[in-house]
Amino acid sequence: MPTRLKWLSIVRSPVGATATVLVLIVALLAIFAPLLWGAQAEAIDTAGTQQGPSAEHLLGTDALGRDVLARVLIATQLSVALAVIAVVIGVTVGTLLGTAPSVLPRWAARLVVGIVNIAVAFPGLLLALFLAAVFGVGATGAVFAIGLAMAPSFARLTQTMSAAIAGRDFISAARAAGVSRLRVLIRHVLPNIAEPLIVNATVAAGGALLAFAGLSFLGIGVQVPAYDWGKLLSEGLNRIYINPAAAFGPAVAVVVAGLAFNLLGETAASVAGGRVATGRWTLPPLPQPATRTVPAFPNVSVGTILSIENLRVSYPTPNGLVHPVRGVSFEVREGEALGVVGESGSGKSLTALAASRLIEPPGVVDADRLEFNGIQMLTAPEKTIRGLLGTSLAMVFQDPMTSFNPTRRIGSQLAEAAQEHQGMSKKDAMKRAVKQLQAVRVPAATRRAEQYPHEFSGGMRQRAMIAMGLMNRPKLIIADEPTTALDVTVQRQVLRLLERVRTDTNAAILLISHDIAVVSQSCERVLVMYAGRVVEDLPTAELYTGARHPYTRALLEVVPDLDTDREQPLGVIPGRPPAPGEVPLGCAFAARCPLATVQCRESDPELETHRDKHRVACWNPVGGDTRVTLPELSTAAPRTEAAPVATVGGAQ
Amino acid sequence: MSELRFDHVSVRYGSRSTGLTAVDDVSLTIPSGSVVGLVGESGSGKSTLARAAIGLAPVTGGAITLDGVDVAKLRRRHPIQMVFQDPFSSLDPRMAIGESIAEMIPRGTFSSAAAKRAEVGRLLKLVNLDPDRAGSLPGALSGGQRQRIGLARALAARPEVIIADEITSALDVSVQGSVLNLVRNVCAELELTMLFISHNLSVVRYLSDYIAVMYLGHIVELGPVDEVLNNAKHPYTRELLASVPTRNGDLLAVDPAAPMDVEPADPHHPPSGCRFNPRCPIGPLVHPERQICVQSAPQLPTTPGHATACHFADPTRDRVPQPFEPSW
């Protein structure tokens, strides 16, 4: 998202809009109040001292008969100015202290870090009081006191954020090229941490405002004849029984201005951190696809465990609804191993998540049929779905570290599944957990059940995850890139394990992978997905010989194998897949397809049965012996992306 | 000439008691103008070895030399450049790509800003990108395009050696080919020496002249690419080859003799002797009499050609070798 749009979205949320308006009012008052009400605030009226609220003086008058309201409004300038200056001092000193360790020699860096650590441990207000005493009573002293008291926390913030940036590869690249540490700091580190720093400074301004009010109230801040809100508050408080409004005015001013800065900072922080959904939350009704025809499977046949028809997943964006999954239909039969292959953004993982009802709002799932084991997943109550997950439906994710609770032992996490769903006793459940760990060949299962997730290697964690799925005899295991994070030797072990589980328990497996070779080796049937649709569905035995969709053919062509001809350049599919919001009218692959015709660009082909167990969505499916020739990449001239330069060889 | 040589290089992190030897006494020579593919599982030390060459990892033993000169003394010239794995973190998101490339051009190479801009344009053209895109931010580019920028940036420093660390593992297969073709053509054209690191054997085979296989900080097999792949001698290399998903392979086939499902060793507590012995299908787990594997670490012969660090690599040799005693 462009930065400008992102920051504009602050104003769109109610809290952000309120905060922005408040800050604007405070700023305008700070600038113009002395011009407008300066005379009124200074007009001494000995006849009307210490009056209560009246039509003429809304908040009454002070000991010299001056209008309190006017004085509160004028005090905005000094109060805000002091707070801003203090924040500038705090952020500058903090940033210098925080970044110094990355350019100083090692011993000096340690010294600075040590000092900052000690200062951070010191309570901020106490530090401010101490410094105020050191600098002497008065506004200047208070500004330095509060500014410097703020510095340690900014130093720590800067240190932490710089450390996070320093680990990124672009810093390594710059250092490898001999860019000096100072230049790296200025050119690469600071611009990347500026955003959160500014957000935090805004919040800190609110805090500084309160701190000043406090210091002035205590009498060690602003001194007469100058006055800020704290000063007015302390004056008003002396007479609170005579005229409560005189204390109430500055108090409200402090609260409102402090709140305005804090809220603005908070909203900005959530926008910067991507926590605010930009755009409208209300969902327009899902448009029905115009070309919906006969369902692919009129009835769910016997032995089908998962039946999906015309599944769509939609997400709202500022530019309207996008559909990362656009009408996917397939069936999984009992004991079948079905692979789903596609590049990133093809919708393969979302399809799997949608099938198990794990799509989180604001995502919306819609389908003509979504039936698992006889249960209508779209209409079934939440409780039924929860009961399914972990019993007859098991999920295995790419990163098992995030799927386990890191603070609990593996064994008890496994046992919990059986306790919850089968009402087993804790002891029996534990026994079963160990048995399942043995079944997935975790060595020394009894001992390992007592270990925590971080004590398991990646492959072993993935085994434990599968064991957890197996605690309650699943009918379907959905494995989403289960081996992507693993080494090839471990990948092979995990794939073998899944295969063994399938033969032993007759559980069906839905294996999602970006690697067509992995799927072809471990599944009986493969669905090829592209831009949110299934473009081909065929038995893996026919994959290398009988694939008919040009995309499937191209995919097989571009993956280097152990017998790829090294004298030839590798095949390349020109262009890139369309983003979910930019799917063209016709076939989504047309722009990259060497066989595309006018028809392909104008209408999207349906997934049609080509012959038994083989479906393909293409207007010009490739014949059995036709070879899709991919363009070769030359280094001679820049080539525009998505230029379908290709020839078709073989019998056409 | 630009021959990169790792001479008994060790990289050790942390203290003596809790530390980790990521790279342990590795010797490897990359002949001038050739490509050496480095394969091995995660934690084998292949990336650490590469980072040591460009000064991003501490060399605690041995020396890395370029044409006989210690690379630590060449830092001003920066003849070794790296292309990184993650195209999303290897470019500063707030810096225009042209600027990122220009930053790497050695100071004093070009006198005028216009000449520098022209050089950036030339580099962009070299990696098949439109020179007009020099002003765009990385966010506007696809993963494949970013990886090409990564290459252009490395080339801007006028390197003699390129280190490519898993440069295609974050890319989709449909763009992987274009990046690999480009790297191959550019390296051939500029006669660059390259260390190509990947866990994908098919990719390494396609690009490399030689292959080095690493396991837990050691190089266990080394040789010309066809020699190593067609006639793998080390049991780990064989296991690696059998695990590569290929169209003709059989991943699910089970070798009854091999110890199955053994956990990879912990690099913090490497096993004694040969580091592969707890997983080895021809080691003491299967042949209890082969205690030498537990007692002494096999050394990689320094003879040129195909070399293997295994006591029992040669199937024709059935006598039990004597414990290894280094004579130098």
Mean pLDDT within A215-243: 84
Cα distance between residue A73 and residue A228, in whole Å: 10
Q: What is the mean pLDDT of chain A?
A: 82
Using pLDDT thresholds of 50, 70 and 90, give the confidence band for residue A624. low
On chain A, the residues whose CB falls within 8 A of the CB of B130 are 638, 640
Using pLDDT thresholds of 50, 70 and 90, give the confidence band for residue B97. very high
Q: What is the reported pLDDT for A509?
A: 94
CB contact set of A496 (below 8 Å; sequence gap of 6+):
B251, B252, B254
Q: At residue B199, does pLDDT exceed 80?
A: yes
> Over the stretch A512-568, which tens digit does the pLDDT of each residue have?
998 888 999 899 999 999 999 999 999 998 888 888 999 999 888 888 888 888 888
Q: Can you say whether residue A328 is alpha, beta or left, with left for phi > 0 and alpha for psi between -120 and 50 degrees?
A: beta
Considering only CB atoms, A174 lies closest to which of B103, B205, B263, namely B103
Residues facing residue B9 across a β-bridge: B26
A326-355 residues touching B, CB cutoff 8 A:
343-344
Q: Are A223 and A138 in contact (CB under 8 A)?
A: yes
Q: At residue A302, does pLDDT exceed 80?
A: no
Q: Identify from B99, B173, B205 which residue to disrupt to test chain A contact, counting A C-beta atoms within 10 A and taking the largest count.
A: B173
Q: Are A546 and A563 in contact (CB under 8 A)?
A: no
Q: What is the reported pLDDT for B250?
A: 76
**First CA to last CA distance, chain A:** 45
- Global pTM reads 0.78
Interface contact B262, partner A, CB < 8 A: yes
All CATH 3.40.50.300 domain ranges in chain A, comma separated: 304-533
Using pLDDT thresholds of 50, 70 and 90, give the confidence band for residue B256. low
Considering only CB atoms, B245 lies closest to which of A174, A176, A521, namely A521
Cα distance between residue A419 and residue A416, in whole Å: 5
CB contact under 8 A, B263 and A188: no
Q: At residue A119, does pLDDT exceed 70?
A: yes
DSSP classification of residue A389: B
Q: Residue type for B223, please?
A: G
Side-chain half-sphere exposure of A481, counting CA atoms within 13 A: 17
A110's tokens: 């340690």
Q: What is the reported pLDDT for A275?
A: 47
Instruction: Please name the residue of chain B whose CA is at the shortest distance from the CA of residue A544.
Output: B247
Q: What is the reported pLDDT for A4?
A: 59
A630's tokens: 């991919």
Cα distance between residue A406 and residue A452, in whole Å: 7
Using pLDDT thresholds of 50, 70 and 90, give the confidence band for residue B237. very high
CB contact under 8 A, A566 and B126: no
Q: Are A354 and A325 in contact (CB under 8 A)?
A: yes
Q: What is the reported pLDDT for B18?
A: 72
Task: For residue B31, give the 3-state DSSP assignment.
Answer: coil
User: Which of A273-277, A464-468, A487-491 is least confident?
Assistant: A273-277
Interface contact A198, partner B, CB < 8 A: no
- Write out the CATH class of domain A304-533: alpha beta
Q: DSSP letters along A125-182, please?
A: HHHHHHHHHHH-SSHHHHHHHHHHHHHHHHHHHHHHHHHHHHTSHHHHHHHHTT--HH
Mean pLDDT within A14-31: 88
φ/ψ of A66, rounded to 5, equals -85, 150
CA B22 to chain centre: 14
> Is A107 buried (19+), middle (13-18) or exposed (0-12) by CB count in 10 A?
exposed
Q: What is the reported pLDDT for A488?
A: 83
Domains detected in chain B: 4-215 (3.40.50.300)
Cα distance between residue A581 and residue B268, in whole Å: 48
Instruction: Please name the residue of chain B whose CA is at the shortest distance from the CA of residue A174.
Output: B104
Domain A11-39+69-272, CATH = 1.10.3720.10
A145-184 residues touching B, CB cutoff 8 A:
168-170, 172-179
Residues facing residue A306 across a β-bridge: A332, A372
Instruction: Find the length of chain B.
Output: 328
Q: At residue A114, does pLDDT exceed 80?
A: yes
Cα distance between residue B20 and residue A388, in whole Å: 44
Side-chain half-sphere exposure of A640, counting CA atoms within 13 A: 5
Q: What is the reported pLDDT for B255?
A: 61
- Sign of the Cα torsion A398, A399, A402, A405 reads positive
Task: For residue B18, give the 3-state DSSP assignment.
Answer: coil
User: Which of A157-166, A481-490, B151-160 is least confident?
Assistant: A481-490
Q: What is the reported pLDDT for B63?
A: 92
- A405 or A95, higher pLDDT: A95
Q: DSSP letters along A271-287, please?
A: HHTT-SPPS--SPPPPP
Mean pLDDT within B240-262: 73
> Over the stretch A572-622, which tens digit does the pLDDT of each residue have?
888 878 888 888 888 999 988 888 889 899 889 988 888 778 999 999 888
B197-216 residues touching A, CB cutoff 8 A:
199, 201-203, 205-206
Considering only CB atoms, B264 lies closest to which of A177, A457, A544, namely A457
User: Which of A349-363, A589-603, B170-184, B241-255 is least confident?
Assistant: B241-255
Residues of chain A above pLDDT 90, percent: 16
CB contact under 8 A, B41 and A488: yes
Using pLDDT thresholds of 50, 70 and 90, give the confidence band for residue A630. low
Using pLDDT thresholds of 50, 70 and 90, give the confidence band for residue B143. confident
Q: Are A358 and A555 in contact (CB under 8 A)?
A: no
Q: What is the reported pLDDT for A596?
A: 87
CB contact under 8 A, B229 and A562: yes
- Sign of the Cα torsion B309, B312, B314, B318 reads positive
Cα distance between residue A35 and residue A29, in whole Å: 10
Interface contact A358, partner B, CB < 8 A: no
Interface contact B173, partner A, CB < 8 A: yes
- B209 or A424, higher pLDDT: B209
Using pLDDT thresholds of 50, 70 and 90, give the confidence band for residue A135. confident
Q: Are B244 and B202 in contact (CB under 8 A)?
A: yes
CB contact set of B150 (below 8 Å; sequence gap of 6+):
A173, B83, B84, B87, B90, B91, B167
CB contact under 8 A, A516 and B173: yes
Task: For residue B81, give the 3-state DSSP assignment.
Answer: strand
Q: Are B180 and B207 in contact (CB under 8 A)?
A: yes
Residues of chain B above pLDDT 70, percent: 91
CA A188 to chain centre: 23
Query: What are the DSSP E strand ranges found in A244-372?
Result: 304-317, 320-333, 337-341, 364-366, 369-372
On chain B, the residues whose CB falls within 8 A of the CB of A177 are 78, 81, 103-104, 157
Is the peptide bond between A53 and the residue preceding it cis, with omega within 30 degrees of 0?
no
Cα distance between residue A626 and residue A629, in whole Å: 9
Instruction: Please name the residue of chain B whose CA is at the shortest distance from the CA of residue A575.
Output: B175
Residue among A518, B30, B265, B238 at smallest CA distance from B38 = B30
CB contact under 8 A, A572 and B182: no
CB contact set of A261 (below 8 Å; sequence gap of 6+):
A23, A83, A202, A203, A205, A206, A209
A631's tokens: 């363009």
Q: According to the per-residue pLDDT averaged within each range, which of A37-46, A79-88, B38-47 is highest?
A: A79-88
Mean pLDDT within A286-302: 49
Q: Tally helices (H) and strands (E) across chain B.
A: 9, 11
Q: What is the reported pLDDT for A306?
A: 93
Mean pLDDT within B19-32: 89
Q: DSSP letters along A49-105, please?
A: TT----SSSTT-B-TT--BHHHHHHHHHHHHHHHHHHHHHHHHHHHHHHHHHHHHS-
Neighbours of A318 (CB within 10 A): 12
Mean pLDDT within A397-403: 74
Interface contact A562, partner B, CB < 8 A: yes
All CATH 1.10.3720.10 domain ranges in chain A, comma separated: 11-39+69-272
Cα distance between residue A435 and residue A415, in whole Å: 11
Q: What is the reported pLDDT for B324?
A: 40
> Over the stretch A326-357, which tens digit does the pLDDT of each residue have?
999 999 999 999 999 998 888 898 999 898 88
φ/ψ of A614, rounded to 5, equals -140, 110
Q: What is the reported pLDDT for A188?
A: 86
Using pLDDT thresholds of 50, 70 and 90, give the confidence band for residue A325. very high
φ/ψ of A94, rounded to 5, equals -60, -45
Using pLDDT thresholds of 50, 70 and 90, give the confidence band for residue A165. confident
- A62 or B9, higher pLDDT: B9
Using pLDDT thresholds of 50, 70 and 90, give the confidence band for residue B320. very low
Q: What is the reported pLDDT for A651?
A: 33
> Over the stretch A358-374, which tens digit does the pLDDT of each residue have?
888 888 899 999 999 88
- A629 or A140, higher pLDDT: A140
Mean pLDDT within A450-473: 83
Cα distance between residue A442 and residue A428, in whole Å: 19
Please name the residue ranges forming H helices in chain B.
46-53, 97-104, 113-126, 143-156, 173-190, 201-207, 225-230, 235-243, 292-295
Task: Output the CA–CA distances (angstroms, integers) from residue A248 to A18, B18, B183, in the order listed.
Answer: 22, 62, 72
Q: What is the reported pLDDT for A557?
A: 85
Task: Output the CA–CA distances (angstroms, integers) from residue A568 to A560, B91, B184, B185, in the order listed.
Answer: 11, 31, 11, 11
Q: How far is A415 from chain B (nearest CA, A)?
A: 23
Interface contact A406, partner B, CB < 8 A: no
Q: Which helix (H) or strand (E) holds A527?
A: strand A525-530
Q: At residue A402, does pLDDT exceed 90?
A: no
